[in-house]
Each structure stands twice: as C-alpha cells, then as structure tokens.
Amino acid sequence: MKLIGSKQEQDFRKELEGSNLLLTKDGKAEKILNVLRVTFGELKSAYILNWTPEQGEDIYTILVDIDKIAKIEISRVNHSEVPLIETYNLRDFQKRLSKIFQIKLAVAIDIAKTEHQEG
C-alpha cells in the first residue's frame, strides 16, 4: 500500500511512534518483549498495532521488525500464566484487514523500515 501523507496516516504515525516496545520501559512492555524474544530472537523493532483489553487478559497485535505479526494474550488475573502467542506471515495477515487497519500497518512498516536504516 502506498502512503500519501493523509491526516489519518499522520495520526497513526504519531500513535505508533510512541508504541515501540523497545523504547518503552515498564513491566508490561518487558513481559511482551520477553515473549517476542523467545519466539523471534533478537528484535529490531516491535510496534503495538492494536491492544484489546478483555475480561481477564490483554491481547496485543504487534508488528515485529518489518515482516512479522505476533498476537500475544497476557493474563491480567494470573501473572504466573504463560502468555499465549500466535505468529503470522505479514502477507497472509494483511489480506484479512480492513482498509483502515491496512493503512495503520503500512505506516508502522514505514516507521520500522526508517528505524532499521538508521540503526
């Protein structure tokens, strides 16, 4: 998807720039990063695309580096419970998304690519 610099894209960019887990220093981010590192090894970036608070758990959809998607479910009730993780191929994941979420994903990929070139 080609980005055009729309207001929607700019809003997503602002939101996503603050969601890079590698730059966040709190317990929840560390827990998510640990799950991601066990699954993928070393990470260059990890952007939260979506967060869904459920009754007893939080579900995060995360762009890992520039080509992987992880969906992580972390219990808010039982902190010793091992988080569940599902991984997706980026191309397969994109096909199922709404137009607006495809734009958000494209912005996240653009940010990650820029970050990877700088790093």
CA gap 56, 79 in Å, rounded: 11
Answer whether residue 27 is part of any domain.
yes
Q: Which domain holds residue 47?
A: 7-114
What is the reported pLDDT for 28? 85
What rounded mean pLDDT belongs to the chain? 92
- For 33-72, write each residue's pLDDT tens digit: 999 999 999 999 999 999 999 999 999 999 999 999 999 9
- For 9-23, write each residue's pLDDT tens digit: 999 999 999 899 998
Answer whether residue 71 is part of any domain.
yes
- Give the global pTM: 0.90
Total domains in the chain come to 1
Percent helix, strand and coil across the chain, each rounded to 5?
Answer: 45, 25, 30
Q: Reduce the secondary structure of 76-113 to three states and give it as a string.
A: CCCCCCCCEEEEEEHHHHHHCCCHHHHHHHHHHHHHHH
Answer whether residue 119 is part of any domain.
no
Answer whether residue 101 is part of any domain.
yes
What is the reported pLDDT for 119? 64
